[in-house]
Structure 1
Amino acid sequence: MDGGGWFDGDLNGDFEVKRCLSSFVDEGRIESHRYYLARRTLLEMLRDRGYSIPALDIDISLQDFRSFYSQKPDPDRLRISAALRSDPSKKILVIFCGPDVVKVNAIRSIATQIVNKDSLSKLILVLQNHITSQALKAVDLFSFQVEKFQLPRMLQQDAIARYYGLEKGQVVKVIYNGEITGSHVTYRCVW
């Protein structure tokens, strides 16, 4: 990523405020732009992990993404399925959960939709909202590894958010430097 829309800072007081992600959006909806960025990042991550991801899928333009998925994409259509280059029998599936709280019924629905459970070695769930404890228990019942990705939130009332005048939707990059852990990077979405 080019760093646009990120707030960079570390515990030593070195901070730099950059433009909000929403400021990069053209005439289209912010929602489609966020899905576009999230999907592209996941495709890049899968490629970096050794999965077969066509460059065409990663390099799709925002305009082409919107033409194919619409201004208000259906998260079910954004699924990604890929095979490991070194072992095509190992497959991964990425499912984008919608903006609602992920409940146990949503996990059950995902389980019934996965046709070839035996050939799947990993599942990634991209969460926009929190997942209930019952849904987490249901996820643990899958016979393959399940990763959950959710951008942690920072309340707009947080002292740092208030200090820098951050707005909802902005993504904050926080760099922690410690003697034991070294440098650690985390991201937060202002909520």
Structure 2
Amino acid sequence: MENVPSCLSSFIDTGSRESHRYYLARRTTLEMLRDRGYDVPTSEIDLSLQEFRSVFSQQPNLEQLRISVPLLSDPTKKVMVIFCGNEVVKKPTATRILQQITNSADLHKLILILENKITAQAKQHLKLCRVKVEDFQITDLLVNITKHVLMPKHEILSSVEKDKLLKKFSVGENQIPRMLETDAVARYYGLEKGQVVKVTTDSDVTGPLVTYRCVM
């Protein structure tokens, strides 16, 4: 810092790299949950890095980073997000996680944020969970991919809208271009097989171009 001009010093982050990573990943996760229809306070998403560090410190406690929010359409259904730290997630860790959510009757989805790999045994053990379990690498959440300038707009159709679309074009579900369930956008929105997405791409030449994708 001694050799940095004063006009640039305000742009240099002197805090811990760890807290910065957790700040970015937690913010993207909150945005993802909001876009999935969960009741996420705007104040949580709008926290600055400095405010985040004042709340969670330079070395955030993983327990404090946890997120639990209800669906706007059905407050009796909640999602829980657990940050797993930098250790490899093995079967004993998976067992502890399942024990922690045993009494969460209103839980309908669990999301794990990983900083290391998760073993095949742990993944298999998590299948015993009564709710759907998703996992993301923390590096995949440092940036919100849906905000990229080149990313088309994605809108998830309801079952009614999907039926109208199929009738309008007289096509079957298997005739719609596919989007894999493992696609980054599909994972961001938590899409499942059979759901249809309206994709709008802006073009300076042709104007808005609308296509549809069915998750497979």
Q: Same fold (TM over 0.5)?
A: yes
Paired residue for 2:97? Answer: 110
- Unpaired stretches in structure 2, ≥5 consecutive residues: 1-10, 151-176, 186-216
Give the TM-score normalised by structure 2.
0.59
Higher relative contact order (CA 8 A, sep 6+): 1
1:72 is displaced (CA, Å) by: 1.0
Paired residue for 1:142? Answer: 129
2:69 alignment partner, SS class:
strand
Q: Which has the higher strand share?
A: 1
Q: Which has the higher helix share?
A: 2
1:116 is displaced (CA, Å) by: 3.2
8 A Cα contact 1:25 1:33, kept in partner: no
Matched, 1:40 2:32: no
Q: Percent identity?
A: 53
Change in CA separation of 1:70 and 1:107 when aligned onto 2, cut-off 3 Å: same
CA displacement 1:62-86 (0-9 Å, x = unmatched): 1111111110112221000000000
Paired residue for 2:154? Answer: none
Change in CA separation of 1:185 and 1:31 when aligned onto 2, cut-off 3 Å: same
1:185 is displaced (CA, Å) by: 6.3
CA distance in 2, matches of 1:115, 1:64: 33
Matched, 1:31 2:18: yes
8 A Cα contact 1:81 1:94, kept in partner: yes
Max Rg structure: 2
Alignment of 1:176-187 (within 5 A): none
2:29 alignment partner, SS class:
helix
Change in CA separation of 1:108 and 1:26 when aligned onto 2, cut-off 3 Å: same
1:141 alignment partner, SS class:
coil
The count of corresponding residues between Structure 1 and Structure 2 is 140
Alignment of 1:85-164 (within 5 A): 85-114=72-101, 116-150=103-137
Change in CA separation of 1:25 and 1:89 when aligned onto 2, cut-off 3 Å: farther
Runs of 4+ in 1 over 4 A off after TM superposition: none
2:58 alignment partner, SS class:
coil
Paired residue for 2:162? Answer: none
CA displacement 1:39-60 (0-9 Å, x = unmatched): 0000000001000000011111
Paired residue for 1:81? Answer: 68
8 A Cα contact 1:104 1:132, kept in partner: yes
One-letter amino acid of the counterpart of residue 68, structure 2: S
Give the TM-score normalised by structure 1.
0.66
CA RMSD of aligned residues (A): 2.6
CA distance in 1, matches of 2:47, 2:138: 23
